[in-house]
Amino acid sequence: MMLTFLKKPDKRLPVNPRVRAYGKARIDIASRARSSADWDRLWKRPLNPFPFAWDDLWNQCIEYRVDDFAAEVGFFIDMLGFSVNAFDPDYAMFTSPLGEFYFSVTPARDGEKSTPPDSFRLQFLIREILQTAEELRRRGIVFETWPQPCMPGSSLYIGTFRSPHGIAIDLWGFVAEKVDSTRVSPSQSKQSEEIAYRASNLYAEASGLRQGKASDRNITDSDYGDFAQGFARRGFMNEAGSIESKYNPKDGG
């Protein structure tokens, strides 16, 4: 008897070689830039302008499917206090009280697979990260990694907990007075560093350091240096000190 194995259809579309060439050219700039002046000189406007004009209801949303819809809904609404922008028995779009972000959750229906928990992470850059973590712990939320410096001695802290479905939720935040990191176990420290490396773009983009906005957030060169060391140790920064990721100059690039 001959067994026939059906190959799963590949949902990826063929890539136009020009598109890949565009990306390689951008990455090449990231590898060559040595300073902010280099970024400003080398970076060019996109080939095409940004095409979207936002509606008033919401502007961007990530959706994932879960096996236990009720648990995910209860966690985000009643444990974390998130607001809902849309809600019905099989759909929930969550946001903050001021509508600063959006993501949605749906139940996996018959024949559907739920979203793999490690397929993406939710990340929030917040103020008063340690006080917030204490409040969440008071509510019964268990941290996978308690907030701690992303690198030894850094004032940038990262902590992680998970939703009932297993989606990692990373909290990032600056701590004015550095906490003694020697009390952190080696295993926790390794977990924290892994989170920092996977989310390497967030700090530079959120703080605006590449756009000369460090003073707007009271971010020091020392803070940047701490984070840059983490990049270098895992290959996110080249030997010359240039972070190898995208750059968005003021001209809209």
Q: Return the DSSP state at 59.
A: S
Instruction: Give the pLDDT mean for 70-84.
Output: 98
What percent of the chain is modeled with pLDDT above 70?
65
Minimum mean pLDDT among 86-90, 155-159, 205-209: which range? 205-209
Question: How many angstroms separate the CA atoms of 56 and 148, rounded?
Answer: 38
Give pLDDT tens digits for 140-176: 999 999 999 999 889 999 999 999 999 999 999 999 8
> Is 0.75 surpassed by the pTM of this model?
no
Give pLDDT tens digits for 116-142: 999 999 999 999 999 999 999 999 999
Question: How many angstroms separate the CA atoms of 185 and 215, rounded?
Answer: 34
What was the pLDDT predicted at 7? 55
What was the pLDDT predicted at 12? 76
What was the pLDDT predicted at 15? 87
Run of H or E residues at 135:
helix 129-138
Domain ranges (residues) in the chain:
20-46+118-253, 66-114
Give pLDDT tens digits for 20-30: 999 999 999 99
- Give Cβ neighbours of residue 115 (< 8 Å, ≥ 6 apart): 64, 65, 66, 165, 167
Q: Please name the CATH architecture into which domain 66-114 falls.
A: 2-Layer Sandwich (3.30)
At 213, the pLDDT band (50, 70, 90 cuts) reads very low
